[in-house]
Structure 1
């Protein structure tokens, strides 16, 4: 199924179901947004998908506004954004909070980086091993003694967000909270040790003959 038409406009009505066929509708503030259902490799489960860098500016602007409101309630001194897709929303949230910049983490090692400021990285959408998450040592002083909010697009297994929190902890600059566009299922709750806000949340889905149904107990709180 092509996802080209998703994340471009808000929906007028909720997708029919359950069982759901190809889409699942979430609320983004007062708007409805259809998300495509992506089967997982096991073939019997699926998750609702959101890719921030594939979304239209219209949709992304609303999402950033909601995240900014949530971030203001936390009152961060600095916002740390995860690669790759957290960088699509992090700058807008930081700007809305009155900040002049973000602190971006990266997966590309520059020659002046210190391996001590890096951790292994793995995610549900990029399962291959060997990647690392880096903090540019030149940015360290922007974090020291500050109230830090970490931003990403989706938290699912929690591996990426947990890696960012671990990296900041190793750097002596622990984060106090995180914010995402979507909290996807509950698996991340086992490894992420800070409060996580989001614009919307989605459960795990299980295949039935007519399509997909939400698995009981998998919707995050």
Structure 2
């Protein structure tokens, strides 16, 4: 298996290169289980988005949950929100949107409980993700915040993959290239 060596938040990691389609491969950036990386990425992202610029943070389940939790811990935030992949029994009358992500073959749905939506109404929301690629997950989170009546004040990610690195509406720590089947960078 090919890997891509990358420095993120002052730490070097080897990302396995994984097939998405016959002509598209990505470097798999997984923070699950890597406490050192999660703490460092949260610290560096918080330098880009001061705590007084937003009221709450929101992310989509599941890969960026450790990141948003650590960002909340480091910033002293008492609450953050997670858009879930399915409705839960504890979610009263949930809001719901459909999401298409580069790493998910089929469409997935995101849900936010009406109780969380009430807390978001009129508040400044920072959207957080581990990797922004096509922007599908970010767009779905934007739709949930819009439905809830929140105000999106920022979009932050650890990595911007491919063309996402050219976006002016996000802050991120590093660019992540796309790859060919042989592990070389896509031109």
CA–CA distance in structure 2, aligned partners of residues 28 and 35 of structure 1: 11
Give the match for residue 176 of structure 2: 202
CA RMSD in angstroms comes to 2.3
More strand by share: 2
CA–CA distance in structure 1, aligned partners of residues 148 and 46 of structure 2: 26
Question: Normalised by the size of structure 2, how large is the TM-score?
Answer: 0.87
Tell whether 2:5 aligns with 1:25. yes
SS at match of 2:145: helix
Tell whether 2:82 aligns with 1:104. yes
Q: 2:14 aligns with which of 34, 48, 58?
A: 34
Give the match for residue 214 of structure 1: 185
| Deviation digits for residues 85-116 of structure 1 (CA, Å, limit 9, x no counterpart) | 1212101112222211211211221355435x
Contact 2:98-2:140 at 8 Å conserved across structures: yes
Q: 1:89-128 counterparts in 2 under 5 A? A: 89-111=67-89, 112-114=91-93, 117-128=95-106
Q: 1:48 aligns with which of 7, 18, 27?
A: 27
CA–CA distance in structure 2, aligned partners of residues 150 and 118 of structure 1: 16
Distance 1:187 1:77, change over 3 A: closer
Residue 56 of structure 1 and its aligned partner are, at CA, apart by 1.8
Give the match for residue 80 of structure 1: 58
5+ long unaligned stretches in structure 2: none
| Deviation digits for residues 116-165 of structure 1 (CA, Å, limit 9, x no counterpart) | x2111222222223x32111111123212222101111111211111110
Q: Matched residue pairs, number?
A: 186
Distance 1:68 1:171, change over 3 A: same
CA–CA distance in structure 2, aligned partners of residues 133 and 72 of structure 1: 27
Question: Normalised by the size of structure 1, how large is the TM-score?
Answer: 0.74
CA–CA distance in structure 2, aligned partners of residues 45 and 128 of structure 1: 17
Q: 1:63-74 counterparts in 2 under 5 A? A: 63-72=41-50
Contact 2:97-2:110 at 8 Å conserved across structures: yes
5+ long unaligned stretches in structure 1: 2-21, 217-221
